[in-house]
Chain A
Amino acid sequence: MPRAKNLDLIAPDDPVITTKPKNSKPVTKVNPKPPIKSSPKPPSKPKKTPPVSKSTSSRDLKFRQKVYQLIQGITKSPLSSFLVRPKVFTFNARDDGEEIILVLRRHWFTNIPWIITGILMIFAPFLLLTFSLWSIFPPDYRLILAIFWYLLTFAVAFENFLSWYFNVFILTEERVIDIDFYNLLDKKMSEAKISMIQDVTSKTSGISQTLFNYGSVIIQTASELPLIRVNKVPNPDLVLQVLQQMRSEEEQEAIDGRLK
């Protein structure tokens, strides 16, 4: 049965079928004024916006931009203690497309003691030579002792460097990960979702920490591991701000999720 074309009789949810008249001519629009020729502008350079991972939706972008603004202008050197959105750095348990926002190592000032120890160890044999103490060792063993000593010096410096380089705290868009290598054989990896973070505290104490702006960040979580403590990291207050911003983002995501 054909539907009535009277609009008053159509229910709001009825599909409206419009048919073109058979003999209708195509209407041509006449422009009264010719288009004003404007001088061709060079295409403006697109503004550089930080790339966002696939999992980040446009809704989260506003929050993420605040995080990016907080950490903007901080060095991206791979040997830095405060790596911002590193390109090369990655870790084993990383999910596909998971964006790394921060990678923290101990502040460089904490490396001073072992660097001084290493330098002293380098010059120690020369001290023995100066005071003629080298002669207490048997002549056959002197060269081997010297080689052993310098290998040991290298090992001390290398171990300390490895400890600094691989003990990292990673903040991604979804979670925080603390990787600790205590010594040659002990390793600990702690992880907590940002949504599980309950409280974040930053702590700076002592002369060197105040002078060089480094300290601890303590993260209380609702996950199995109640406390994640990151020691001697640079800019603890900034890390705190970033974590708080990330928490707000997660909370907003949760609210949006409920409203859907």
Chain B
Amino acid sequence: MIDFNFILNLAKEIFAFLGGLLYLIFALVVVKQVTSMSKNVHDKFNTILIVFSYIHFLLSALLFLSTLLLLLT
């Protein structure tokens, strides 16, 4: 007998883990992208944009960690 509840829970956990991980990678790519763009084009707001990208990455890392904690507990 297949336990659908178990499969559904497992799918949710895998989805949450992979989603968090992929988002973290995406945030890292954004940081690299902003840094690369700022090297090519320098303007007044470059520093602010780089700071924003790092804040975004930090929050993504926190999100991933909290997802991990939630899955483990």
Q: What 0/1 readout, one digit per residue, does chain A (140-168) give for beta carbons within 8 Å of chain B?
A: 11001001100110110011001001101
Which of A57-65, A88-96, A124-132, A201-209 has 4 or more CB atoms under 8 Å from chain B?
Answer: A88-96
A181-B19 Cα distance, complex, nearest whole Å: 26
Cβ < 8 Å to A, chain B residues 18-41: 19-20, 23, 26-27, 29-30, 33-34, 36-37, 39-41
Q: What 0/1 readout, one digit per residue, does chain B (51-64) give for beta carbons within 8 Å of chain A?
A: 01100100110010
Task: Specify which chain B residues have a CB less than 8 angstroms from the CB of A86 in the assembled complex.
Answer: 43
- Assess whether A144 is in contact with B16, with CB atoms less than 8 Å apart: yes
- Assess whether B66 is in contact with A90, with CB atoms less than 8 Å apart: no
Cβ < 8 Å to B, chain A residues 161-186: 162, 165-166, 168, 179, 181, 184-185
Contact A91 to B41, CB < 8 A, known contacts A148-B19, A155-B30, A158-B52: yes
For the complex formed, measure the closest distance between the CB of A40 and the CB atoms of chain B, giving whole angstroms. Answer: 44
A89-B44 Cα distance, complex, nearest whole Å: 7
B14 within 8 A of A: no
- Assess whether A155 is in contact with B26, with CB atoms less than 8 Å apart: yes
User: For residue A83, which residue of chain B has the nearest CB?
Assistant: B43
- Assess whether B40 is in contact with A179, with CB atoms less than 8 Å apart: yes
Number of interface residues of A (CB under 8 A): 30
Number of interface residues of B (CB under 8 A): 30
When the two chains form the complex, which single residue of A138, A152, A155, A168 contacts B41, counting CB atoms closer than 8 Å? Answer: A168
Task: Specify which chain B residues have a CB less than 8 angstroms from the CB of A154 in the assembled complex.
Answer: 56
A147-B34 Cα distance, complex, nearest whole Å: 22
Q: Is the interface of B mostly helix, strand, loop or mixed?
A: helix
A147-B29 Cα distance, complex, nearest whole Å: 19
A185-B20 Cα distance, complex, nearest whole Å: 21
A226 within 8 A of B: no
Task: Specify which chain A residues have a CB less than 8 angstroms from the CB of B52 in the assembled complex.
Answer: 158
- Assess whether B44 is in contact with A151, with CB atoms less than 8 Å apart: no
- Assess whether B45 is in contact with A89, with CB atoms less than 8 Å apart: no
Task: Specify which chain A residues have a CB less than 8 angstroms from the CB of B66 in the assembled complex.
Answer: 144, 147
A90-B67 Cα distance, complex, nearest whole Å: 42
- Assess whether B44 is in contact with A92, with CB atoms less than 8 Å apart: no
User: For residue A181, which residue of chain B has the nearest CB?
Assistant: B37
- Assess whether B41 is in contact with A144, with CB atoms less than 8 Å apart: no
A162-B54 Cα distance, complex, nearest whole Å: 14
- Assess whether A159 is in contact with B67, with CB atoms less than 8 Å apart: no
When the two chains form the complex, which single residue of A78, A92, A144, A158 contacts B67, counting CB atoms closer than 8 Å? Answer: A144
